[in-house]
Amino acid sequence: MVEAHSAAAAVGATDPALLALAGKAAWAILLTPLICAVAILLVGIHRKSFAMAAAVGGLATSLICTLFLFFQASQGHLAVPFEVSVTWISLGGLSIPFGVLIDNLSLIMTLVVTGIGSGIFLYSVGYMHDDAAASRYFGMLSLFAFSILTIVLSTNWIQLFIGWELVGFCSYMLIGHWYAKPSAAAAGNKAFIVNRVADFGFIIGILWLWSVSSTASDDRTVHFATLMARLPVLVESGAVPVATLSVIGLLLFCGPVGKSAQFPLHVWLPDAMEGPTPVSALIHAATMVAAGVYMLCRTFWLFEMIPSTLNVILYVGAATAFLAAALGFAENDLKRILAFSTLSQLGYMVMAIGLGGPVAAMYHLTTHACFKALLFLGAGSVIHGTHEQNIWKLGGLTRSMRWTSLTFLIGSLALIGFPGLSGFFSKDEILVLAREHNLPIYLLATLTAGMTAFYTGRLWFVAFMGKGHAHGHESPPVMLGPLFFLAGLSVVAGYIGIPAWLGEHHEAFHWDVALTSTAAVAAGVTISWLLYSKRAIAAGSLVRALALPQSFVENRYYIDDIYTWYVQNIQQKIIAAGCAWFEQNIIIGAVNAVAALAQGLGRLLRLFQTGVVQTYVLVFVAGVLWLITRYLAVR
């Protein structure tokens, strides 16, 4: 029943023994976290240390397998892409495989997930040490690892969707980990439902794509490789009009809009910061929210056929990048500032896709995963040490939490694109692309880079520099280890040739773009230094001067309010209450009316029951007489 088949690419012959081993390793990457999750949730729910060991061990196993495959592939021993899969559903003409697709793209993403994930898992051991429900936390974390790997290694749309939904569930459970807090429970609900709304479009897109994917000789398919080969033919022959495909593309893009928190469905991500900080680092910064971008890269062969959809993607991404960065100006919560920054960077990645540069997007995704995870873990370390996340109540952390501050500084510099650090290179790629294709977007992106520098500078100057209020203690080594690891990655990720690995020849360095963006960054940092560290300009007067945009930003453009208004007034008060009214009064009312009719007839007939036997006899005789008369008449 489990028929594994490998569709090795024609290029490069692979040793059969190695191929078999690689197949096992590929399955191991995917399934080890699942097995660990099941083990933790079934037997380890009351055994905290077992849960921790299993979760970390499971993901570490995945990491080792990934590294194995990565080196085999990079040495050229293993021909990629290669695929192992089993048939999950086979029904009539429908065949849905479930498997592992190994190619350069999925390998780099798997490395991000397992590598950074392992660090964060380890960090969680320290962070969640005193939590009573740590077992559930680690179980869910393992399940999340499985789910995100299901997406990353997916061979087809349905498997991708399965993983897509499962990460949503894990995210829901982990955001709501401290369910006693009403805000955490609400944030979990919000994340799940917003994603559900997006996935509605996504699944329709998948269904539609599936339904147009058949050719004269072959059945429909959801399989990536098959679709990739088949769609251009179908479009060329006119069997699938480009307009249709564009609509399908838009529907599919709904998925990333939800999962990668693009405008206007970005509202769940800031709230998701209610979860434990490692979760924010792993799920809501490094991997899950990047899954949307990954999906767009994975299926870029589809999107590159539909330029109109790409344009929409571009503008959505650009809008998200800019608007979210502005939101970072007015936020006071340490983690939420990082969340807005994540939004903004995700906007960059989506923008890169829209510009036709999946490699740039993937590059930025990878570097962003490193430094944003680092920033979140740093924030987690701060919260762990001070139990405070309002930046105005922090300050002077450079003294009390030296190592945390140092790593945080590296992460911040990488984020703003300080020359030489990883963020600089990846952002530069996107800016180059933008300048080539779309000048207004390029300007906006450069402005956004400056804004990023501004709010990051604000965060740094307020929370870490300055006179100390916070008396934190430095975190344990188990938490600092991952911080150093990620800081190292944030520095070197720009030099290890990720674009080349993803198949793009690195073009000549664009000094003009780099200088412009560096200037914007420098300007942003300088302004924030003047405002918040030097206090050369009173921040308050600036706020007063910008009253209108300020309130606009503080209320997050009122988008949350619009949604809340919709839910409370339209959905609940009009649609749901209206349906309930209809149910109660029309449907149930109609049934009751029928019952009342029967009862009324009964009351009427009751009058004939006088209780006097003779009357009954009289009626009876009358009836008999009538019958006899009829009988006589008929004869």
| Interacting residues with other proteins between 60 and 119 (CB under 8 A) | 87-94
Closest separation in Å from C-beta 625 to other proteins: 6
Given 212, 250, 406, 447, the residue binding other proteins (CB under 8 A): 212
Alpha carbon 338 to chain centroid, angstroms: 16
Which amino acid belongs to residue 70? F
Q: Which positions from 522 through 551 interact with other proteins, judged by CB under 8 A?
A: none
- Residue 83 amino acid letter: E
Distance in Å, CB of 270 to other proteins, minimum: 19
Q: Is 35 in the site for other proteins (CB under 8 A)?
A: no
- Say whether residue 210 binds other proteins (CB under 8 A): yes
- Cβ closest to other proteins, residue 244 vs residue 550: 244
Q: Select from 325-333, 460-468, 503-511, 612-620 the region that touches other proteins (CB under 8 A).
A: 612-620
Q: Look up residue 222 and give its DSSP letter.
A: -
* Shortest Å distance, C-beta 218 to other proteins: 8
Please give the sequence-ordered ranges of beta strands (E in DSSP) within 22-81, or none if there are none. none
Q: Provide the minimum distance between the beta carbon of 580 and other proteins in the complex, in angstroms, as a whole number.
A: 4
- Under a CB-based contact definition with an 8 Å cutoff, are residues 67 and 30 in contact? no
> How far does the chain reach from its first CA to its final CA, in angstroms?
80
Tokens of 201: 């479009």
Q: C-beta of 182: minimal distance to other proteins in Å? A: 5
CB of 598 to other proteins, least distance (A): 9
**Minimum CB distance to other proteins, residue 632 (Å):** 6
Yes or no: say if 104 and 70 are a contact pair by the CB < 8 Å rule.
no
Touching other proteins, residues 545-604 (CB under 8 A) = 571-572, 575-580, 582-583, 587-588, 590-591, 595
Report the residue from 11, 612, 633, 634 that binds other proteins according to the rule CB under 8 A: 612
- Does 208 participate in binding other proteins (rule CB under 8 A)? yes
Nearer to other proteins, 139 or 499 (CB): 139
**CA-closest candidate to residue 320, choices 411, 415, 256:** 256
Q: Which of 484, 500, 533, 375 is nearest to 429 (CA)?
A: 500
Confirm or reject binding of residue 511 to other proteins (CB under 8 A).
no
Rounded to the nearest whole angstrom, what is the least distance from the CB of residue 614 to other proteins in the complex?
A: 5
Decide if residue 632 touches other proteins (CB under 8 A): yes
Residue selected from 241, 477, 503, 623 as contacting other proteins according to rule CB under 8 A: 241
Q: Which of 176, 356, 396, 411 binds other proteins (CB under 8 A)?
A: 176
Tell me if 478 sits within 8 A of 125, measured CB to CB.
yes
The site map against other proteins for 146-175 (x = CB under 8 A) is ------------x--xxx-xx--x--xx--
> How many other CB atoms sit within 10 Å of the CB of residue 581?
10
**Minimum separation from the CB atom of position 555 to other proteins (A):** 24
**Residue closer to other proteins (CB basis): 221 or 446:** 221
DSSP 285-310: IISHHHHHHHHHHHTHHHHTT-HHHH
User: Do the strands 5-6 and 82-91 form a parallel or antiparallel pair, or are they unpaired?
Assistant: antiparallel
Nearer to other proteins among residue 210 and residue 371 (C-beta): 210
Least Cβ distance, residue 203 to other proteins (angstroms): 6
Question: Which residue is it, tokens 């399908």?
Answer: 248
Other CB atoms within a 10 A radius of the CB of residue 393 amount to 14
Which of 31, 235, 239, 444 binds other proteins (CB under 8 A)? It is 239
DSSP 571: I
Q: Cis omega (within 30 of 0) on the bond before 264?
A: yes
Going 485 to 491 to 493 to 497, the CA torsion angle's sign is negative
The reply to whether 50 sits near other proteins by the rule CB under 8 A is no
Which of the stretches 10-18, 268-276, 557-565, 607-615 binds other proteins when contact is defined by CB under 8 A?
607-615
Q: How far apart are CA 188 and CA 271, in angstroms?
A: 8
Size of the site for other proteins (CB under 8 A): 83
Please check whether residue 384 is in contact with residue 298, taking contact to mean a CB–CB distance below 8 angstroms.
no
- Candidate list 13, 130, 182, 511; residue touching other proteins; CB under 8 A: 182
Which one among 39, 64, 186, 530 touches other proteins, defined by CB under 8 A?
186
Closest contact distance (angstroms) between CB of 349 and other proteins is 25
CB 387 within 8 A of CB 130: no
Both tokens of 212, joined, read 């147009």
5-14 in b/e form (b: 16+ CB < 10 A) is: ebebeeeeeb
Stretch that binds other proteins, among 189-197, 281-289, 469-477, 509-517 (CB under 8 A): 189-197
Beta strands in 234-304 (DSSP E): none
